[in-house]
């Protein structure tokens, strides 16, 4: 390979061994902490929860589970949508568990 005939792929191969993987910015977590929901002083999901009654917020969580399950096979991001459905289901499960632990019988 000559410097004059090197393709971009050739350069990538040569320079890859000099790239420190720890210098790379962390990959965004699109399921648990997408940047577009964390742009202010409060996370969007927290603001939504604070604006609703417990009953309404549980309905919101359930609705989001259904939304992601409904569309997972149509958007081209199956695994991501299923993980998002699981995220909302987990949040709903934690909330209901806490409420049941504090219930008086």
**Mean per-residue pLDDT for 89-104?**
92
Task: From residue 4, give the alpha-carbon distance in Å to each of 1, 79, 86.
Answer: 8, 43, 51
| pTM beyond 0.85 | no
Distance from the first to the final alpha carbon of the chain = 78
pLDDT at 105 (0 to 100): 65
Q: How confident is the model at residue 98 (pLDDT cuts 50, 70, 90)?
A: very high
Q: How far apart are CA 63 and CA 18, in angstroms?
A: 47
């Amino acid at each position: 390979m000559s410097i004059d005939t090197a393709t971009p792929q050739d350069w990538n191969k040569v320079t890859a061994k000099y790239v420190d993987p720890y210098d790379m910015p962390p990959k965004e977590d699109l399921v648990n902490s997408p940047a577009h929901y964390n742009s202010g002083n409060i996370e969007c999901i927290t603001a939504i929860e604070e604006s609703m009654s417990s009953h309404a917020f549980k309905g919101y969580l359930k609705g989001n589970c259904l939304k992601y399950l409904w569309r997972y096979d149509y958007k081209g991001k199956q695994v991501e949508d299923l993980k998002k459905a699981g995220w909302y289901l987990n949040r709903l499960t934690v909330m209901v568990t806490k409420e049941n632990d504090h219930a008086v019988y």
